[in-house]
Structure 1
Amino acid sequence: MPYRENRRYSSSSIITPLLSVPDIGEEDDGTVEITRAQTTADGYYDSKLRRGLNDLTRLRSAASAATYNTFNSFFFEHIDEGAYLPDVGLRPWLAALGGFCAQFCSFGYMNVIGVFQAYYATHQLIDLSPSTISWIGSLQSFILAFGGLFCGRICDMYGPRWLTVPGCLLLTFGVCMTAICTEYYQFVLAQGVCSALGASALFYATTSAITGWFSKRRGLAFGVAASGASLGGISLPFVFDVVSTRASFSLAVYCVAILLFLFSFTTVVVTNSRIAPSGRQPYRFVHFYLRPYLDPVFALVTLSLTVVYLGLFVPFAFIASHAISNGFSLASAFHLVAYLNAGSLGGRLFSGMLSDKAGKFNVYILVCFMSGLIAFPFWYLSATEAGIIVVAAAYGFASGGVLAMYPALIAHISPIREIGTRVGAVSAVIAFGALAGLPIAGAIVGGNASSAPDYNSMQIYAGVVMMSGSVIAVLAKARATGGKIFARE
């Protein structure tokens, strides 16, 4: 099925009119007639040149569309935006499945940074401070978020598969390289940079695809997709713990890489877009990335997410090492990360379903405030094994809601054809919150030969910044609804 029109263009149909000469008459007054003839010829050729260039432009657009159709039909026939309704049929849920697998590989892998943080601190990088080690996970989260600045626009122009294929390859390669790392800079490059680039490409490609396939049940679809991160956070720590205990660190990481490859390859197979890509467009940074911030609601939502991201991943990174300082074994501390992600599974699904009924803003504000409240005072006051397990599961539930609502909320306040770009614009800003959050928390914890780690101050920090983010979200909602704070929005 053709993308634009059935009209065919050949090189001869475009070039031949340009080479034909108009019939220009001759009269007695040579000077005047030569001037008129020259003017007529110039106008004639200018007109033909413009028509030829327009035909070339249409030809290139048709060729671009044909390339996309051929590439996309590797697994599916051509997808026509008008031929398929959102929310209906198998294809929307295939896109949701792609999002589920992509989030298993992106945020699911990101959610186990606490396991790697605790392992590095007791093995390969035992001579480094917690703040220094935390830069690995911090850089990983930064690139995962900041990559949206480029990935979102690429997806809008060329379609999701231009991101899912390289994302699968980069993620698998980065994790495999982590298995043979021995030096700090090697872990930074393999885990903090390479695998994060692949995870970012997978996440933003599927986020854009889901947005086009769903309308009324978009919150549920994002909740289903986000639950993949929870499954990754539950399964990967157990795989890593069992294999590293019985065999070696390298073999454990290779097993993780195999799982990530299987899920990322599934993402490549099932992810497709209902909305045909727009093709190459001029790169206008101000228009695409700065213009949305003229909208006060968009700017306030971005500010809220940035503040929340300063503390959101702190419990993920430090709950295991905090438990070890309270007498947990290394294996029990790793299991806490799994409990946290088990709670996150319920939070992502529940918040997604609830947001379709109660409103995107309402659910986002609620889960942000709950996350801060659990970090401080509940985590602050928990020192027993049972108490820390409950805190891990409860925080997973609340923070899972935040991660599920983030793309849904941006889609809610954005035009549908700009969602990929706008999610990227937001992600580029909140990435700096993710980058700074863990090193700040690590510096607060401290801990060396002369002083004990200060986890209490770190818990206060995490709780306060997340509750502050929920307050900013209230202001954004008030602006969006004209002051109706209790509206269903």
Structure 2
Amino acid sequence: AWLAALGGFCAQFCSFGYMNVIGVFQTYYETHQLIDLSPSTISWIGSLQSFILAFGGLFCGRICDMYGPRWLTVPGCLLLTLGVCMTALCTDYYQFVLAQGVCSALGASALFYATTSAITGWFSKRRGLAFGVAASGASLGGIALPFVFDAVSTRASFALAVYCVAILLFAFSFTAAIVTSSRIAPSGRQPYRFIHFYLRPYRDPVFALVTLSLTIVYFGLFVPFAFVASHAVANGLSLASAFHLVAYLNAGSLAGRLFSGMLSDKAGKFTIYILVCFMSGLVAVPFWYLSTTAPGVIVVAVAYGFASGGVLAMYPALIAHISPIREIGTRVGAVSATIAFGALAGLPIAGAIVGGEEGNAANYSGMQIYAGVVMMAGSVIAVIAKCKATGGKILARE
């Protein structure tokens, strides 16, 4: 069973771990290859990456239920490695979009959903802890990758730094492909009935409300990941120090993922999810809004990492908690396809609020308010979902 958790750990190192360092690439592109483009335009690379990572669940979840995880982990490993290696060779905007935004994201999506579905089959009572352990891989990736990229890019070149990242991602994704297996026998090929598989779950009001909550949260969840570094540079920090902020954020995320996973097995999945969603919004408004000094921004990065790490760890655990076991892969895919639109739109909206092109001052304060408000709104919807699930017992262990 714990081999499945190890596979999830390695897969999340490669998927959300790579996704969590979009702030490093966003800041680097703004000051190097894509210096002539606006932050909003550049942010479409990371936005498309997060969209495909999430939307891929619409297909990956069903494939995993029918054929097992190996059909996804091996192609995922190859696509991810190919996309990252091609990123090293990119010079034009469209090339970055195709290599980083599309190819690597397809591989990351296959790895994430295959291992997530496998974990749900192996664990029941300790499922929250297992998801927390797996999700901590994303934080470790978010800690290690910025330091690797910064160390190599400053001493050698961008291309060599990205190749080093690719080697790390290949090693972890290959391990995930080897150790991941499913306890539940695959159902085999079945007719593709879109309405039956993907729309029928929304007849459950609890499932529909949880999906709505996650979608709203995803409009703001990755905004600090993408803009914490460029905000720090705008406030006088060096580029190297700004890159390190992304690592600090992911260090906080590591603790948040593990702690929320363990606590959710006792306090309830809904309770912890609501708490970490609200905390994420609270850190963005007012704490990030008021932080302009280096120590203040570091504290905010760690605190936001802790809260957002809890959100990312609780998302699959909560969906598994409210779903029949044989439909978990499909239901996670259905939710992911919906929340992907929040991930797609969130970063460009934040980038448009920041502005900063044509000599105008960057509006980071407006972006921080936007991110905080949408995440708090998502936590309110989650409270309504919990009330619906428990018959109005808001303090129930659920």
Tell whether 2:260 aligns with 1:375: no
Query: What corresponds to 1:96 in structure 2?
Result: 5
Query: What corresponds to 2:299 in structure 1?
Result: 390
Query: What corresponds to 1:403 in structure 2?
Result: 312
Distance 2:294 2:74 in 1: 43
Tell whether 2:37 aligns with 1:128: yes
Query: What corresponds to 1:344 in structure 2?
Result: 253
Query: What corresponds to 2:326 in structure 1?
Result: 417
Distance 1:263 1:204 in 2: 15
Larger RCO: 1 or 2 (CA < 8 Å, sep 6+): 2
Distance 2:313 2:319 in 1: 11
Within the candidate set 118, 122, 141, 1:213 is matched to 122
Query: What corresponds to 1:301 in structure 2?
Result: 210
Post-superposition offset of 1:451:
1.0
SS of equivalent residue, structure 2 residue 350: helix
SS of equivalent residue, structure 2 residue 153: helix
Post-superposition offset of 1:202:
0.1
Query: What corresponds to 2:219 in structure 1?
Result: 310
Query: What corresponds to 1:283 in structure 2?
Result: 192
**1:376 maps to amino acid:** V
Within the candidate set 174, 191, 199, 2:108 is matched to 199
SS of equivalent residue, structure 1 residue 282: coil
Distance 1:188 1:357 in 2: 42
**1:240 maps to amino acid:** F
Distance 2:127 2:241 in 1: 37
**2:191 maps to amino acid:** P
Q: Give a deviation string over 1:215-258, Cα, whole Å, max 9, x none.
A: 00000000000000000000000000000000000000000000
Q: Give a deviation string over 1:352-400, Cα, whole Å, max 9, x none.
A: 0000000000000000000000001000011111000000000000000
**1:253 maps to amino acid:** V
Post-superposition offset of 1:139:
0.1
Post-superposition offset of 1:176:
0.2
**2:393 maps to amino acid:** K
Distance 2:185 2:6 in 1: 20
Distance 1:448 1:104 in 2: 34
SS of equivalent residue, structure 1 residue 276: coil
Residue ranges of structure 2 left out of the alignment (5+ in a row)? none
Query: What corresponds to 2:396 in structure 1?
Result: 487
Distance 1:129 1:284 in 2: 42
Distance 1:488 1:403 in 2: 20
Distance 1:147 1:269 in 2: 21
**2:294 maps to amino acid:** E
Within the candidate set 30, 47, 52, 1:143 is matched to 52
Post-superposition offset of 1:450:
2.8
Within the candidate set 337, 343, 353, 1:428 is matched to 337
Distance 1:123 1:447 in 2: 16
**2:64 maps to amino acid:** C
Within the candidate set 274, 285, 288, 2:183 is matched to 274
Distance 1:465 1:448 in 2: 25
Q: How does 1:153-168 map to 2 (within 5 A)?
A: 153-168=62-77
Within the candidate set 340, 354, 361, 1:452 is matched to 361
Distance 1:284 1:419 in 2: 16
Query: What corresponds to 2:379 in structure 1?
Result: 470
Query: What corresponds to 1:34 in structure 2?
Result: none
SS of equivalent residue, structure 1 residue 277: coil
Within the candidate set 71, 74, 79, 1:170 is matched to 79
Query: What corresponds to 1:27 in structure 2?
Result: none
**1:293 maps to amino acid:** Y
Moved over 2 A (4+): none
**1:133 maps to amino acid:** I
SS of equivalent residue, structure 1 residue 327: coil
Q: How does 1:220-235 map to 2 (within 5 A)?
A: 220-235=129-144
**2:16 maps to amino acid:** F
Query: Normalization by structure 1: what TM-score?
Result: 0.81
Distance 1:334 1:364 in 2: 28
Post-superposition offset of 1:308:
0.2
Superposition RMSD on alpha carbons, in Å?
0.3
Distance 1:399 1:252 in 2: 27
Query: What corresponds to 1:244 in structure 2?
Result: 153
Distance 2:297 2:58 in 1: 37
**2:296 maps to amino acid:** G
Post-superposition offset of 1:448:
1.8
Q: How does 1:46-57 map to 2 (within 5 A)?
A: none
Q: Give a deviation string over 1:287-326, Cα, whole Å, max 9, x none.
A: 0000000000000000000000000000000000000000
Q: Give a deviation string over 1:145-181, Cα, whole Å, max 9, x none.
A: 0000000000000000000000000000000000000
**What percentage of residue pairs aligned between the two structures are identical?**
88
SS of equivalent residue, structure 1 residue 199: helix
Post-superposition offset of 1:471:
0.2
Post-superposition offset of 1:449:
3.1
**2:42 maps to amino acid:** I
SS of equivalent residue, structure 1 residue 483: coil
Distance 2:243 2:336 in 1: 29
Distance 2:21 2:108 in 1: 14
Distance 1:278 1:293 in 2: 22
Which one has the largest radius of gyration?
1
Distance 1:283 1:178 in 2: 35
Tell whether 2:288 aligns with 1:357: no
